[in-house]
Structure 1
Amino acid sequence: MRRTITAAAALLMAAGTGAGAARAQDDAIPIRFAAGSTSDTVSGSLPRGGDQEYVFGAAGGQTAEIDFTSDAATAHWTLVGPGGAPLHSGMTEQQDDVVVELPRTGSYRLDVQTSDPADYTLELTLPVEIRFARGGTSATVSGHLASGQTHDYTFDAGAGQEATVDFTRSTGTARWVLAGPQGQPLHTGMTEQQEHVSVPLPETGTYRLAVETMDAGDYSLRLAIPPA
């Protein structure tokens, strides 16, 4: 289950980390997504007491989904926003699967640190928000997926609404999955019906929709959410 960290809560949890935010970023590694991609994975090895900085750009209102694994229990990551605002600290218990709200447009600094020698892998995902035109109740997204690639989307909805998805693809292995605000699966890639599906939305919040494939191909997905 993904846990959402708000900027306000992170400020309380990460108080005192401002000094780290002021460190020079000359040795930071940029995280750049491939064309059309919404995620990227970085990995490395750190010596005892080592750290590695990464930077990425994002827009205010986006969410960053961070999945972190390491063979050392002391390895952790921190996230600092534009202007040095702490968003996630190494003291935060949740490290492996976290969603962080990004408050401002600009450059974000992500720092992997450890007390013991560590190998680590970190996947950063910045989903694209699906927005309806003013007064509209539907929107269409489309794209090209390379083999094994995933495109991630989010949308907001209220409890009791229903999402209808119309999905077309050029390859039979393309699938879409839908998860609720708490990470609960609402539609999986194992579901046989993919072309036209209506899914009841159980609570108010941000939903995640991902399109994935084993084989390269094009897709088009129409999302409709009538008023409750």
Structure 2
Amino acid sequence: MPAPAGERILFDPGATQATIEGYLPADGRAIYVMNVTAGQFIEVNAAVGATGRGLRFSIVGADGAVVKTMGEAHVRTVVPSTQDYYVELVSDVDATSYVLSVLIPVRIRFAPGATSAQVAGSLLMDGTRHYVIRALAGQRMIVAPYSTQGQVKLVISGADGQVLLSGRVGPPGGVYDGILPVTQDYLISARAEGGDTDYVLNITIPADEAGSDVVIIGTVLDVSPSARIIMLAEPVEGLSVIALTDASKLLSVAGNEITLRDIRPGTKIQALRPRPCPFSGARGCSPWRNWA
């Protein structure tokens, strides 16, 4: 069966995101094609104006592998093999203008035995480059941006949409140092702030530390109950962000269980980080527990 004809999605040199504007008549469809490497993370979004309704798309490989069935106009996923992938965009109801955005971040991989990696680049003012790294729940990740010209702003989020860091310029304030809440891909976006910039990102995931539990005591700078994240006013034991898992518990000084909504900026907390688990469900291991 011949591959469907489609407009190829092209990225500017060094770019990690492409945007296409188009128009669909009522009950119309458009097909785009992109070549993606096996194991690569992609994010595809289709947006319409206020009058556009019924916009959906599917993604299917040239070999027939279905990456996304026809449905809502948004997906974050990892492709299974290196090949062309076809994005079929459909308007079921009204004629509409649309914007199709395709994000294929650069995947960061550590060399065998290494615990860190470095990426560097140049961006024009307001330009953004995207990276992605796979990490495990409970691992500590440090992302430190440096710029020899201009400033670079970091945004870090999980593939599940949970934002860990948003819009801080560094260093030192823009350094992310926290415990990851979920095993998944994490997106790291570097944006040139206030002018062109040359930057370096140092990404470190320290090796698991064997031994006793680590207890830290610090003061809360901010808290996000919906994202289950506590930011500390000052780093303690190198940590400035605590990301809680669903199994984490919060206790008052009296030993009563409380919620994140009970914590306010300025609250002093005591947090216990158990020794890292070598695998999920390992005996003697447990997620973060925190005491306010």
Uncovered stretches (5+) of structure 1, i.e. residues with no partner:
1-21
Query: 3-state SS of the aligned residue for 1:134?
Result: coil
Greater share of strand: 2
Greater share of helix: 1
Identify the residue that residue 70 of structure 1 maps to in structure 2. Answer: 48
Q: Which has the higher contact order (CA 8 A, sep 6+)?
A: 1
Query: 3-state SS of the aligned residue for 2:42?
Result: strand
Identity of aligned residues (%): 31
Q: 1:131 and 1:24 mapped to 2: Cα distance?
A: 33
Q: Identify which range, 56-65 or 147-156, moves more after superposition.
A: 147-156
Output the amino acid matched with 1:81: G
1:49 matches 2:11: no
Contact 1:168 1:195 in 2 (8 A): no
Please provide the CA RMSD for this pair: 1.9
Equivalent residues in 2 for 1:52-201, closer than 5 Å: 52-71=30-49, 72-90=52-70, 92=71, 94-95=72-73, 97-115=74-92, 116-190=94-168, 193-194=172-173, 196-201=175-180
Q: Deviations over 1:135-159 (max 9, x none)?
A: 1100001111122221111111112
Q: 2:207 and 2:79 mapped to 1: Cα distance?
A: 28
Uncovered stretches (5+) of structure 2, i.e. residues with no partner:
209-292
Q: Deviations over 1:101-150 (max 9, x none)?
A: 21110111111111221111111000111100001100001111122221
Cα distance, 1:196 vs. partner? 4.2
Higher Rg: 2
Q: Identify which range, 143-152 or 167-176, moves more after superposition.
A: 167-176
1:213 pairs with one of 181, 188, 192:
192
Q: For this pair of structures, how many residues does the alignment match? A: 203
* CA spacing shift, 1:23–1:51, aligned 2, 3 Å: farther
Q: 1:23 and 1:148 mapped to 2: Cα distance?
A: 41
Contact 2:3 2:62 in 1 (8 A): no
Q: 1:144 and 1:25 mapped to 2: Cα distance?
A: 37
Output the amino acid matched with 1:179: S
Q: 2:169 and 2:190 mapped to 1: Cα distance?
A: 13
1:224 matches 2:200: no
Equivalent residues in 2 for 1:24-35, closer than 5 Å: 24-26=3-5, 28-35=6-13
Output the amino acid matched with 1:208: L
Cα distance, 1:25 vs. partner? 3.3
Q: 1:132 and 1:106 mapped to 2: Cα distance?
A: 25
Cα distance, 1:194 vs. partner? 4.2
Query: 3-state SS of the aligned residue for 1:216?
Result: strand
